Amino acid sequence: MISFIVRRFTYGILVLFGVLTTVFLLFTILPGDPARMMTGQRGDEATIRNIRKEIGLDQPVLKQYIMYLNDLSPISIHFANDFGNSPTFLMEKYGFVFKLYDGDKTTLIIKKPYLRRSWQSKRPVSEILLVALPNTLLLAGASILFAMITGLILGSLAALINNSIVNKLMVVITSIGMSLPSFFAAILIAWVFAFLLAEYTHLNMFGSLYSVDHFGEGVQLELKNLILPAFTLGIRPLAIVTELTRTSLQEVLSQDFIRTAYAKGLSKSRIILRHGLRNALNPVVTAVSGWFASLLAGAVFVEYVFDWKGLGVVIVSALENFDLPVLMGAVLLISSMLIIINIFVDIVYGLLDPRIRIT
333 within domain boundaries: yes
50 within domain boundaries: no
41 within domain boundaries: no
197 within domain boundaries: yes
pLDDT value, residue 357: 55
221 within domain boundaries: yes
pLDDT value, residue 264: 76
pLDDT value, residue 162: 67
Mutual angle of helices 311-321 and 125-160, in 10-degree steps: 130
21 within domain boundaries: no
**Could you list the residue range(s) of the whole structural domain that residue 133 is in?**
125-358
pLDDT value, residue 301: 82
Amino acid at residue number 106:
T
pLDDT value, residue 349: 65
Answering whether pTM is above 0.85, one says: no
Q: Name the nearest CA neighbour of 237 among 331, 140, 166, 312.
A: 140
Tell me the backbone φ, ψ of residue 221, rounded to 5 degrees: -80, 130
Local structure of 98: helix, strand or coil: strand
pLDDT value, residue 86: 57
Local structure of 202: helix, strand or coil: coil
pLDDT value, residue 128: 92
152 within domain boundaries: yes
Q: Name the nearest CA neighbour of 303 among 237, 232, 224.
A: 232
* Structural domain total, the chain: 1
302 within domain boundaries: yes
Ranges in the chain, pLDDT < 70: 1, 40-43, 79-93, 96, 162-164, 212-219, 286, 289-290, 292-293, 297-298, 348-359
Domain CATH number, residue 261 = 1.10.3720.10
